[in-house]
Structure 1
């Protein structure tokens, strides 16, 4: 039987950082060193986080909630949004098994636990998945040569319910 665990990346997780950087290079051609630097910074910042799904202790998927994503460079008006779910990746051999949805739900719950009231994302490949997970479409924008859908989701943070 397969055992699934969620691991929040910490500064000591150098091997996991290297694995994630390799995945990001293979999938999106993100330079390896750029990913390593970003992952180290995120692991040291409680307001951002990277999570890895381990199946039988082996890394199979990852994603995070970040302050800075590539879209913000080309569409700076979105800088008003401070938390972005991004770089959700699952090993090709593990896709279509629901891991992406489980990872996104875990990231959303972690965001809520950390007091983050709303998160955003952009995608051109998984709009239907995010709709199924309760995300709302904001708009479609140009992102380089791609057209991406910007989406948002309220986490339902307890701070939203506090009234004075």
Structure 2
């Protein structure tokens, strides 16, 4: 397995956009299209936020995760955020999610951040298992959903 910046492997932009659209956008943001997500993905690079990495095994893209300045507009005081962690269904339960989370932690640390945040509507137990600290439950007015905020100290 190899973790690489998506911007260095643009041939995987479409699959990553489709995953993000299906998992995080389609059911809660009907005004956002797959093409809009794909265009945003194609704009990313490895120097500016948001940053997106993927894990490859041969020619297969197994999963993705991103680092955002902010992933929850009603909490502008918190940054940066781990966002859009997805592992393709057929490759789950192999530790790939943790590998991707660890890579984003490394990237955030290399950029000088001391903490990293994330939000989740579905994976509370997963992030607790990975050692993230639960901060609070809040309501996201933009998507009209309750979400849970976690934090991780990343400076040793």
Q: Does 1:93 align with 2:95?
A: no
How far apart are residue 155 of structure 1 and its match?
1.3
How far apart are residue 51 of structure 1 and its match?
0.6
For structure 2, list consecutive stretches of 5 or more residues without a partner in the other structure: 27-31
User: Out of 95, 113, 118, which is 2:110 matched to?
Assistant: 113
How far apart are residue 39 of structure 1 and its match?
2.0
Structure 1 residues 47 and 146, CA, compared in 2 at 3 Å: closer, same or farther? closer
Contact 1:47 1:114 (8 Å CA) reproduced: no
User: Out of 14, 18, 43, which is 2:14 matched to?
Assistant: 18
* 2:4 corresponds to: 7
User: Out of 48, 51, 71, which is 1:49 matched to?
Assistant: 51
Q: TM-score, normalised by structure 1?
A: 0.80
SS, match of residue 89 in structure 1: strand
* 1:160 corresponds to: none
Contact 2:70 2:78 (8 Å CA) reproduced: no
Distance in 1, matches of 2:149 and 2:63, equals: 22
Distance in 2, matches of 1:46 and 1:127, equals: 28
How far apart are residue 60 of structure 1 and its match?
0.8
How far apart are residue 49 of structure 1 and its match?
1.2
SS, match of residue 131 in structure 2: coil
How far apart are residue 132 of structure 1 and its match?
2.1
Q: TM-score, normalised by structure 2?
A: 0.83
Pairing of 1:108-147 with structure 2 (within 5 A): 108-143=105-140, 144-147=143-146
* Cα deviation 1:137-157 (Å, max 9, x = unaligned): 110012345322101112117
Distance in 1, matches of 2:97 and 2:62, equals: 10
Q: What RMSD, in angstroms, separates the aligned Cα atoms of the two structures?
A: 2.0
Which one has the largest radius of gyration? 1
Higher helix share goes to which structure?
Answer: 1
Q: Does 1:37 align with 2:16?
A: no
How far apart are residue 108 of structure 1 and its match?
0.5
Contact 2:5 2:46 (8 Å CA) reproduced: no
Q: How many residues in Structure 1 have an aligned counterpart in Structure 2?
A: 148
